[in-house]
Amino acid sequence: MACPFDHDPVDEGAAILRRELHICRQRVLRPRIDISALPDNFLFKRYRFTSQSIIYIHNLIRPHISNITSRSHALTSQQILCVALRFFANGSFLYNIGDAEHLSKATVCRAIRRVCLALKRFLPIFVVFPGHKPVRAIKEEFHRIAGFPNVIGCIDGTHIPITAPSHNEADYVNRKSIHSINVQMICDAAHIISNVEAKWPGSVHDSRIYRESNLSARLQHGEFDGLLLGDRGYPCQPRLLTPYPDPEPGPQQNFNRAHSRTRARVEMTIGLLKARFQCLRHLRVTPEGACDIIVVCVVLQNIATIRGEQHPALQIDDPDEDPVHLPAMQDGRAVRDTICTNHF
């Protein structure tokens, strides 16, 4: 008769291994987010949108992101959107987003890419120059800020840090020795972004981005009735006014004061964009992928502004420590002097 305490350690080890393998083969289905069951303040902290806005965005892009099958417990289109929104809002590593949403890093990456491609389709709808309002209304809103006449937009550039790319790495090093994408933005007085250029390496100056943009040519050809306001990094032109470099007391100082107060709208708009989407603090993707994410964040920011979503805590970019002073065109100086004389 065998002793009950006698056992073969090899057989016991084999039995334990079989149990472990059986457990590993069992698929663990973790719970996933259901926005209808969560309060808006919870959703806003994690996705930067409340439930009604998430539903609105989902209805826009659902045909472009839905899985064609539900096999293997594929993500729903709403889950795909929420994964991407969490990345845009948080800016963490993909595996951190995956852990938070109970998904693999590869699944998170695919979800973000799918949402980016879908939302890029809506760029011409939500980002329109000079805006969705009548031009007269845009000018009136700007005029109420500081009395500056005939303004249809304020322009500025901002740098979005990226990981050093493997190709043409030196082109992306900006004046602060950081790898970045230099993004041009124009906004209206209500903080709605009306134009975005997100394709230039960080070494490219703001003035060149504007000069080579399609909008610059359209303005010079008189397609729009109004003015842009820019800082001293831009040349003073008939359709793009910059401050006086050395203003004399009186009208010129008044002009510069009104110019600065009005142009502050674009600095605030860029600050609101970066505060809502923390991923823009540093994008760990290729330059092409970074440009797509930047454009998508602009589309989402306009949706948030139009729908009256609350703003996260504002952050403003550091001013240009050593701006390049560009010579003003003769016609640009004439327009600036005329406005200064007649209005200030």
Mean pLDDT over each residue of the chain, to the nearest integer: 85
Give yes or no for residue 32 having a pLDDT over 80. Answer: no
Q: pTM of the prediction?
A: 0.84
Which secondary-structure segment (H or E) carries 207? helix 206-211
Q: What's the confidence (pLDDT) of residue 39?
A: 85
Range with the lowest mean pLDDT among 25-29, 82-86, 130-134? 25-29
pLDDT range class, residue 282, cuts 50, 70, 90: very high
Tokens describing residue 200: 């230039």
pLDDT recorded at residue 128: 95
How do residues 161-181 score in pLDDT, each as one tens digit? 999 998 899 999 999 999 999
The residue count of the chain comes to 344
pLDDT single digits (tens) 188-239: 999 999 999 999 999 999 999 999 999 999 998 989 999 999 999 899 999 9
Task: For the chain, report the end-to-end CA distance as a whole number of angstroms.
Answer: 111
Which residues, including other chains, have CB under 8 Å from residue 72's CB and lie 6 or more apart?
none
**CA separation for the pair 276, 253 (Å, rounded):** 35
Assess contact for 120 and 295: CB atoms under 8 A.
Answer: yes
User: What pLDDT is stored for residue 91 in this prediction?
Assistant: 77
pLDDT for 259 beyond 70:
yes
CA distance 334 to 340: 10
Q: Is 200 helix (H, G, I), strand (E, B) or coil?
A: strand
Sign of dihedral through CA atoms 309, 154, 123, 286?
negative
- pLDDT for the residue numbered 29: 44
